[in-house]
């Protein structure tokens, strides 16, 4: 039996993708946990930006919001939203973590409405800073559960741009060349985006899952890498730090 749960696996997998001395914009929850874990293990010089203005804090505990006082703790600057967004626009932020109610094959995200915008079936909080982050940070990463309602052939509203309609459509729209979705980390697999078509592609399967499981829980056809790896299990050191120094109250990783 595994000595970790699926949320711990997802956070550890996301954490490994962050290099030392890189920059990242995060929100609360699992993305923040992944950034904190990276900072406390292999990336001590990871520079974390929070939307409300915290820059490069050494996070003592998990913040409960992007404006929590802990997002400024021992930081290099206590700024504001305008400065954070300008930093993204200037091309100085390597990564961002986003989520949404829907995602399509090109990594476009919807966190606005289900149904028509004029007469929605469900209305969500909307963009916040997500559109700015997806537009201007170089690499967008998504942590999300996987099911057919969430991974859908056509999203109802583009809140945060991915590769739009694929190919070079992102660059043609005026967004920075070379920016866009980078990884999607789910409870089953890790996906990237094929270089020319920009379609979502399975590159790694979590232990215990098959490619058929991932495809069955996706509303569009997934591409497959030539060689699909198995996602590494969390290392004992990662789990110890995650459980005792990142999320000791288990708000994010849960009790399982």
Burial class of residue 194 (count of CB atoms within 10 Å of its CB; 0-12, 13-18, 19+): middle
- Please write the tens of the pLDDT for every residue from 50-96: 999 999 999 888 998 888 999 999 999 999 999 999 999 999 999 99
Band of the pLDDT at 228, cuts 50, 70, 90?
very high
As annotated, the active-site residues are 51
| Residue 161 and residue 173 in contact, taking contact as beta carbons nearer than 8 Å | yes
pLDDT of residue 254: 87
pLDDT of residue 1: 40
pTM score, whole prediction: 0.94
- Homologous superfamily (CATH) of 6-246 is Glutaconate Coenzyme A-transferase (3.40.1080.10)
User: What are the structural domain ranges in the chain?
Assistant: 6-246
Nearest to 112 by CA among 134, 93, 85: 134
Two tokens, residue 187: 């409870």
C-alpha span between 17 and 10 (Å, rounded):
11
- Please write the tens of the pLDDT for every residue from 135-168: 999 999 999 999 999 999 999 999 999 999 999 9
- Please write the tens of the pLDDT for every residue from 94-139: 999 998 899 999 999 999 999 999 999 999 988 988 999 999 999 9
Two tokens, residue 86: 């300008």
């Amino acid at each position: 039996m595994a000595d970790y749960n699926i949320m711990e696996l997802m956070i550890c997998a996301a954490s490994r993708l962050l290099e030392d001395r890189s920059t990242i914009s995060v929100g609360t929850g699992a993305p923040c946990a992944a950034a904190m874990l990276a900072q406390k293990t292999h990336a001590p010089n990871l520079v974390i930006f929070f939307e409300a203005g915290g820059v490069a804090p050494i996070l003592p505990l998990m913040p409960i919001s992007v404006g929590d006082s802990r997002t400024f703790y021992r930081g290099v600057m206590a700024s504001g939203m305008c400065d954070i967004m300008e930093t993204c626009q200037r091309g100085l932020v390597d990564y961002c973590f986003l989520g949404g109610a829907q995602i399509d094959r090109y990594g476009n995200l919807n966190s606005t409405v289900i149904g028509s915008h004029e007469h929605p079936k469900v209305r969500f909080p909307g963009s916040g800073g997500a559109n700015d982050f997806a537009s201007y940070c170089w690499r967008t990463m998504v942590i999300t559960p996987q099911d057919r309602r969430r991974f859908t052939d056509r999203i109802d509203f583009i809140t945060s741009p991915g590769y739009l309609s694929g190919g070079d459509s992102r660059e043609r729209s005026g967004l920075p060349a070379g920016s866009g979705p980078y990884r999607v980390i789910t409870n089953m697999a890790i996906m990237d985006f094929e270089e020319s078509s920009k379609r979502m592609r399975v590159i790694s399967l979590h232990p215990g899952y098959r490619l058929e499981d991932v495809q069955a829980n996706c509303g569009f056809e997934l591409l497959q890498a030539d060689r699909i790896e198995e996602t590494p299990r969390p290392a004992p050191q990662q789990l110890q730090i995650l459980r005792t120094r990142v999320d000791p109250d288990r708000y994010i990783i849960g009790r399982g």
